[in-house]
Amino acid sequence: MRLSLLASGSKGNSLFMETGACRLLIDAGLSGRETIARLSSIGVDAATLDGILITHEHTDHIRGVGALARRLKLPVLGSARTLQAARHVIGRVDYVEFEPGVPFVFKGVSIDPFPVTHDACDPVGYRIESGEGGIGFATDLGIATRLTHDKLKGCRALVLEFNHDERMLQDGPYPWHLKQRIRSRHGHLSNAEGAALLEELLHPGLESVFLSHLSEVNNDPSLAMASARGLVDSQNICGPDLFLGWQHQASGVFKTD
C-alpha cells in the first residue's frame, strides 16, 4: 500500500493510491502536466496508472482529468450523474459508470462508493479494499453522516477533510454567503469536525491519516495538525502517522512493507 496527496486545497485536489497491483488517482484537479510532475516527485511513473476515480464535478477535482485520461489512455470512473455533469470539462474519454452505494471490483480491488453531503450533484466518498487492508477517503462533506462513519471504520489508512478553522473563517475576508456555504451541511468540515470524525474512527489498526482540503485562507496547517494530534494523543492507543496535504507540493508518502 502506498498513498500520497499530490495536491490538496481549494485550487486543486488529487490523491495517488497504490494497493495490490492497482494504481489509481482519486480526483485530478491540477493540470495534467503538473499531476505527472507531482507523481514523479514521489517516484511514480504516470504511465503505470490504471484509472482515475472522481468524487464530484467541481473543477478543483476534475481540471486535469481529461488531459491525463487521453494522454495515458485511462478510464475515468464516476457515478452516472457526476460523469454527466463533468463531461463538458473532461471531454471525450473512456467513462466507467457506477452507482453510489453499490460496491464493484476494478483491477482486483473492491471499491465502495458511498454518498456524502456536499453541494454537488452526486458526491461520493470511497472505501477501497484489497489484501493490504482498507483505505477510506472522505473530503468535501458538510457533515459526517452515520453512513460515513460506518463506511470508514476499520481502515488501515484514511484521508479526511480538515478544511477550515472556525474562528479564521468567521473573522476572514470571505463574503457572508460564502462563509455560510462552507459552514453548511453541504459545505466543508472544520478542524474540530474533522477531529471528531477521526475520534470515531480511531482503532489500533489505523496506521495513517491524511489531513486534506485545508483552506489557504481560512486555515493554518499548524491548527489542523494540532486538532488531529491533540485528539490522537488523548487516546490510549498507539496513534497513526499524520500527514498534511499541501496545495503546492505532494505530501509525505505512507508506504507499507
Domains recognised in the chain with CATH numbers: 2-246 (3.60.15.10)
Burial environment of residue 132 by CB neighbours within 10 A (0 to 12, 13 to 18, 19 or more): middle
Q: Could you give the CA distance from residue 162 to residue 9 in angstroms, rounded to a whole number? A: 10
* Cβ burial 203-242 (10 Å sphere, 16+ → b, else e): eeebbbbbbbbbbeebbeeebbbebbeebbeeeeeebbeb
Q: What is the reported pLDDT for 2?
A: 97
User: pLDDT digit of tens for each residue in the chain (257 aa)?
Assistant: 999 999 999 899 999 999 988 999 999 999 999 999 999 999 999 999 999 999 999 999 999 999 999 999 999 999 999 999 999 999 999 999 999 999 999 999 999 999 999 989 999 999 999 999 999 999 999 999 999 999 999 999 999 999 999 999 999 999 999 999 999 988 899 999 999 999 999 999 999 999 999 999 999 999 999 999 999 988 877 779 999 999 999 999 999 97
Give the Cα-Cα-Cα angle 155, 141, 88 (nearest 5 degrees).
Answer: 110
Q: How many CB atoms lie within 10 A of CB 140?
A: 27
Strands 104-106 and 109-115: antiparallel
Q: Which cell goes with 55?
A: 468524487
